[in-house]
Amino acid sequence: MDAFMSTAHSNRPGGVSAKGRPRTSCSWTKNQRYAARAADANAQRRQAGLPVASSAGALTEARRAALEEIDPGWCPVWDTGWQRCFRLIQNLLQNGGALPVAAGKVIVQGEDLGRWVTAQRHGWEQLLPAQQWLLENVIGIEPAEEAERPVKRTQDTMWALNLRAAQQFHAREGHLRVPRKHVEHLAGAAKGTAGPSGHQAGADRVVVVKLGTWLDNVRKRAGRLTEQRRADLDALGMRW
More confident residue, 73 or 144: 144
pLDDT digits (tens, 9 = 90+) for 34-66: 676 677 777 777 777 888 777 777 878 787 777
Confidence of residue 163 (pLDDT cuts 50, 70, 90): very high
Query: Residues 98-122: what's their mean pLDDT?
Result: 93
Report the candidate in 223, 216, 221 with the shortest Cα–Cα distance to residue 239: 216
Report the candidate in 55, 122, 117, 64 with the shortest Cα–Cα distance to residue 92: 117
* CA-based torsion, 79, 80, 84, 87: positive or negative: positive
Instruction: State the average pLDDT for the chain.
Output: 79
Query: Residues 121-139: what's their mean pLDDT?
Result: 90
Report the candidate in 204, 172, 168 with the shortest Cα–Cα distance to residue 189: 204
pTM summary value: 0.44
CB 132 within 8 A of CB 140: no
pLDDT digits (tens, 9 = 90+) for 182-229: 999 987 654 444 444 343 444 446 788 999 999 999 999 999 999 999
